[in-house]
Amino acid sequence: MDSGLSDVKFLKNGNGNGALVTMIEGGEGLFRVVAQDPESKARCGVLNLPHGPVETPVFMPVGTHGTVKAMIHEELEEIGFSLILGNTYHLYLRPGIQVLQHFKGLHSFTGWRGNILTDSGGFQVFSLTPFRKITKEGVRFRSHIDGSSHFLTPELVVEVQRVFGSDVLMPLDVCTPFGITYKEAWEAVELTTEWAARSKKAWEGTMEKSRGFLFGIVQGNFFPDLREKSAEEILQLDLPGVAIGGLSVGEPFETFLELLSHTVRFLPREKPRYLMGIGTPEFILEAVDQGIDMFDCVFPTRIARNGTAFTRTGRIALKREAFIYSEEPLEPSCACKVCQRYSRGYLRHLFKVGEIAGPVLLTYHNLYYLNQLVKEIRSAIRAGRYPTFKKEFLSRWASPLYNNQLF
């Protein structure tokens, strides 16, 4: 396929050892690759979205209900985020389509000036099993709020996201858990492909009313041939971008790595690649190594609300007694306003007495930390030293996933 890229420049990497990093200029449309690491699949790019360009690799904070928990928009902008994620299922239930039609979309309703990617509700199909029934036509479910009955179809999900004014739309899909049978996984792939085709038709029918881009989602559970089948079928639809779903759903880390690497083999270079549902340094670094451009997860904000913070050497649980007298910041090398002002001892105190400031401050730090990490990743790729950066980072990062030095 023609990527539309031109004017390739080759530069020596930051170590001056002669390895070449590919710097690419030009190219129109949604996405362009601007730098390619010489020793891995890692790459830097730019997403040209309706509410401004977004540099990749990029981590997207999750704003399920139109807000990132414990954050205000000004703080997200202050950190440097220009793309956040909202959830179609939850926003469809509350505040509802009529409210968002009145406010002329999510941007106007929430006051967020950047870009918004909205999930389809497919993950809720996976996670809210007691409340739903999947049919060929769509998903019938009972609201977890009031028990009311609803029926989501691929067409309705696209229309709902059009009303939202989403910059990136995700189609309804079937996300499956680890450990299901081959037959169940095959049926989920068939339905995901059929729904994606219906979503495309609905999206093309609303293009005059919406500027958002529809991505396809590759499923296939943990069966390599089904991953290949799903990728081929989704790519035949020629949607603007492609996502990988159904990974990081409870499988062993080695299995995650194996299936991610296998799936990426079938994805075209010129389309943005989105790995759904990852948000820890070790997963992010592995995803970038495989050429992933976008990722999201509730994990960084969820653990912050429970008193856990990211540091250069791993996660720390601030509620532990060991931090009572600690005068250290969360992370001595961190430039965020939390680390510049508050000690571990004080932050622990906030959690122990139930002050809301504790979750607020830790959420800010964790999101700042991840945004800084992806900025350093982009710098390492442009310098042609991403594998070295990854190895150095993981050598300090205390994680049981790396006890066997998988890096």
Copy the structure tokens of residue 146: 């009031």
Place of tokens 């990490």: 373
Question: What whole-number distance in Å separates Cα of residue 216 and Cα of residue 158?
Answer: 12
Question: What whole-number distance in Å separates Cα of residue 145 and Cα of residue 128?
Answer: 12
Q: How is residue 129 annotated by DSSP?
A: G
Q: Is 357 exposed, middle or buried (0-12, 13-18, 19+ CB in 10 A)?
A: middle
Catalytic residue among 167, 173, 289, 296: 296
Copy the structure tokens of residue 294: 């976008």
Q: Are 294 and 273 in contact (CB under 8 A)?
A: yes
Residues 150, 151, 152: CA angle, nearest 5 degrees: 120
Q: Which amino acid is at 156?
A: L
Copy the structure tokens of residue 327: 């005068």
Q: Are 370 and 279 in contact (CB under 8 A)?
A: yes
CA 357 to the chain's CA centroid? 26
CB count within 10 Å of CB 353 equals 9
Catalytic residue among 2, 37, 119, 225: 119
Q: Is 317 exposed, middle or buried (0-12, 13-18, 19+ CB in 10 A)?
A: middle
Per-residue pLDDT of the chain (407 residues; tens, 9 = 90+): 333 333 333 334 444 433 456 655 444 599 999 999 999 999 999 999 999 999 999 999 999 999 999 999 999 999 999 999 999 999 999 999 999 999 999 999 999 999 999 998 767 656 666 778 889 999 988 888 888 888 999 999 999 999 999 999 999 999 998 999 999 999 999 999 999 999 999 999 987 778 899 999 999 999 999 999 999 999 999 999 999 999 999 999 999 999 999 999 999 999 999 999 999 999 999 999 999 999 999 999 999 999 999 999 999 999 999 999 999 999 999 999 999 999 999 999 999 999 999 999 999 999 999 999 999 999 999 999 999 999 999 999 976 554 333 32
> Would you give the end-to-end CA distance of the chain in angstroms?
32
Q: Are 226 and 184 in contact (CB under 8 A)?
A: no
Q: What is the CATH number of domain 57-300?
A: 3.20.20.105
Res 124: pLDDT: 67
Is 119 one of the annotated active-site residues of the chain? yes
Is 293 one of the annotated active-site residues of the chain? no
Residues 370, 359, 284: CA angle, nearest 5 degrees: 20
Q: Is 341 exposed, middle or buried (0-12, 13-18, 19+ CB in 10 A)?
A: exposed
Res 81: pLDDT: 98
